[in-house]
A and B are shown apart, each in its own frame.
Chain A
Amino acid sequence: MFSLLEMLIALALTVVLIGAAVPLVAANSGVSATAPEMLDEQQRARLGMEELSRDLAMAGAGLSVGALAGPLVSSFAPVIPRRMGLTGADAYTVARPEAVTIIYASASPAQSVLMQPMTSPSDALQVDPAVGCPLGTQVCGLQQGSTALLFDRSGRFDLVGILGLTGGAASIEYRQPGPPAFSYQPGAAVAEAELHTYYFDAANLQLRHADGAHSDVPVVDNVVALSFEYFGDPYPPTSPKPPLGTANCLYDAAGALLGGMSILPAAGGTLASLPLAAFADGPWCGAGSNRYDADLLRVRMVRVSLRVQVSNVMMRGRSTDFLVPGLNRGPHSIPDYTMRFDVSPANMGSRR
């Protein structure tokens, strides 16, 4: 049996050890609870940045064959600050800070020019196989379910879904709620393309991605803010230039450049800040529901700000570090995490 002295010494040692260990354990338990949440928060922000920067970096990649080869921004605006596509599309007069639509020709070899005119939405798509198409392919290799981009020198563009292939022609559906932009003539560019709309779903606190057709999925959860800022060429655009006899948003039918667009001050560099209001006041290029403000042809850089929060409401406090307040009143709260980055799409830069 233990003696009284041994018991007292043991008790005293236990009290001292526990007294020393409790704060350590308490601190560690706080860290072990917050660390995974913090990692998850940063991981989601990183995923959002990866997705957005990848598509923004590709924005405006165009065709490598035909007379309209080159960056898409020479023909129309491939970065548009609104939702586009079959469902949930904004009106063309809308410019939203928390949504962006990005268009680029895919890496597929399905690139050519239109062979037959398309004057009605029910017309099939027929392309010239002699202009860059792989041998032995139907409609230049476009597949059922893929998306094709049509545009010409006028500044108009349309995205269509390939419904089926029959005898060298593709039946299509237009990927916008309204009527198609234009009746395209032979020689208009056709390419397999991608449309990516990213937007902030405030109701569900999500960054979502839509492909303009039937897919609209969340990319990142617990997003509390998303915004896009635009920077671009201080000088008014000079492309697209339509053929003589045709006017567009930049040129009259005689080929003279229209006035009305001002030279903007460069903001601390070679690019000018382009406020959203500049994208909602015209002049309007394109046609139908795919119209866009001519100032969008200036865009050269996009600044993205993505703010995420921890998913656990017990880890969020009530200070200004939290856009959506939580229930935490103790020391172990994790503030919102904001990732801000600039993307200068290589295909929208200045001409070499």
Chain B
Amino acid sequence: MTILKSERQRREEGSALLVVLLASSLLAALGLALAALGSVETVIASNQRAGSQLAYAAEAAAEGVLADLLTIPSWSDVLTGLANSRLHGHAVPPVGPGEPPMTLTQLTATVQSEFDILGSWGANHPRWRLFAHGWLTELAPMATADSDEFIAAFVADDVGEGDGDPLVDSNGRIQIAARAMSARGIHRSIVMTVEQTSSLTSTGVPGVRVLTRKEIR
């Protein structure tokens, strides 16, 4: 059956579509604006949460190293690699989106270069060595299952020592750098200087005293 349309009806064909499109665009713009506002806030909150989690993960790594040091009588062994942490887990540090993969050797070199910027101590210049690494969940099984923090801890001789050998601890003081990182490309670090105490623990090993603890962002 053929429907005959007047000239005016033919001229108005498609106008409803235009009106609907206009209204839809207006509503979509309004909705997108509100969604963008909400998503920015969500991203900020999410990043803050991730940063806090990383800071706590770095704290956990530092505490883990301190616990390990309480079992090692000679910290020269720590500096030379004769004594290691119990945490030797996952060995591939996460990197941020679009960043090239990184090895633990490269990560150690990064920590060393960040320190080298501070100055040179000549023959006593500290040499950073990887001491512990792995997922936080490997160090602390009680960490939440969706935790994706990778932790790495490094040790080096302290700068106040003048024995001319950065692989020998002759004053009972060393430095620790504990770093936590995630696949978001952010990281938090805690740098500590610790010393052996004159009092011994129940296992006959010197105790550990934290001299300084500083968070580096």
Contact = CB atoms under 8 A, between A and B. Distances in A.
Nearest to B210: A352
A36 B48 contact: no
B106 interface: no
Given A107-B216, A134-B121, A69 B211 contact: yes
B121 A61 contact: no
B139 to A, nearest CB: 19
B119 interface: yes
B160 A132 contact: yes
A58 interface: yes
Contact of B159 (A39, A64, A136, A351): A64
A52 interface: no
Contacts of A43: 41, 44
Contact of B160 (A39, A66, A347): A66
A108 interface: yes
Contact of B158 (A62, A64, A107): A64
A191 to B, nearest CB: 10
Given A32-B34, A109-B118, A135-B122, A70 B160 contact: no
Nearest to A70: B211
A39 B191 CA distance: 35
Kindly state the interface size class of chain B when it binds its partner: 20 to 34
A191 B161 CA distance: 17
Contact of B34 (A35, A63, A66): A35
Contacts of A39: 37, 41
A4 B120 CA distance: 94
A44 B190 CA distance: 27
B17 to A, nearest CB: 19
A351 B209 contact: yes
A352 B118 contact: no
B118 A134 contact: yes
Given A352-B209, A352-B210, A64 B118 contact: no
Given A64-B193, A65-B159, A131-B160, 9 more contacts: A35-B37, A36-B37, A43-B41, A46-B48, A64-B159, A105-B212, A108-B118, A141-B119, A352-B66
Interface of A: 32, 35-36, 39, 43, 46, 50, 54, 57-58, 61-66, 69-71, 105, 107-109, 130-132, 134-137, 141, 346-347, 351-352
